[in-house]
Structure 1
Amino acid sequence: MNRQRGLALSGLIVWGVVISLVAILGIRVLPEFMDYYKIRQAVKAVAAESSGKTVPELRQVFGKYAEVEHIKTIGPADLDIFKEDNQVVISFAYEKRVPLVANVSLLIDFKGSSSGRGYGP
């Protein structure tokens, strides 16, 4: 008795639908994560060159980084700037809603800090 091996047409269709849904989700979510990493890099760069600068000057420097990197998600006023262990720490937090299908959307909370130890005081 020979057993048949392989994939049935119905199984192929199910797997095709699953793979396409995952691909669509990835295509819609990936730009948001890329934007988050650009913001995080800009915040770390501003914090690295923060010696002797005031809070308004740091916000202005971030504004220049945001303009060059085309960051529209947050602005200089959205940054939390404080001192921790005699170092300037810049942190940020924002929500991004990604529409998926009809009235279904994905809400992502982004948080970051230049200290690398999490968000905020």
Structure 2
Amino acid sequence: MNRQRGLALSALLIWGIVIGLVAILVIRVLPDVIEYYKIRHAVKAVAADSGGKTVSEIRQAYGKYAEVEHIKTFTPAELDVFKQDNQVVVAFSYERRIPLAGNVSLLIEFQGSASARDSGQ
């Protein structure tokens, strides 16, 4: 007698629920992760071109990148610009709270920094 192979209906339903929950989580988190990479790219570009610029000029340059990339989460006023080892460092840090269901939410802390040295100069 041949032994049956396959997946029971109950196992199929459980796997469907698990895959659905993971898909919902990815759909909710992915836009914020994409925006983080846009912010990181803009900060690296601004830091690479920061030689001899003032803090307000660096923030204005980031504002232009943010406008082009449609970055709404992080404003130029929130940038942390300082000097370290005679290099201008542009840093950022922010939190995003993503509601999942009811009173359950996911908190993600994004941060990064760049200097002209990190950008290949």
TM-score normalised per structure 1: 0.91
1:33: which partner in 2?
33
Q: Tell me the C-alpha RMSD between the 2 structures.
A: 1.0
Which amino acid in 2 is paired with 1:38? K
How far apart, in 2, do the equivalents of 1:33 and 1:4 lie?
44
2:106: which partner in 1?
106
Which amino acid in 2 is paired with 1:21? L
How far apart, in 2, do the equivalents of 1:61 and 1:6 lie?
59
Number of residues of Structure 1 aligned to a counterpart in Structure 2: 115
Which amino acid in 1 is paired with 2:11? G
Structure 2: give runs of 5+ residues left out of the alignment.
Answer: 116-121
1:47: which partner in 2?
47
Structure with higher RCO (Cα < 8 A, 6+ apart): 2
By how many angstroms is 1:4 displaced? 2.2
Deviations 1:63-97 (A, max 9, x none): 11111111111111101111112211100000001
1:95: which partner in 2?
95
Which amino acid in 2 is paired with 1:61? A
Which amino acid in 2 is paired with 1:112? G
2:19: which partner in 1?
19
TM-score normalised per structure 2: 0.91
Which amino acid in 2 is paired with 1:88? V
1:118: which partner in 2?
none
Which amino acid in 2 is paired with 1:41? H
What SS does the corresponding residue of 2:6 show, helix, strand or coil?
coil
The list of structure 1 runs, each at least 4 consecutive aligned residues, that deviate by more than 6 angstroms after superposition, is: none
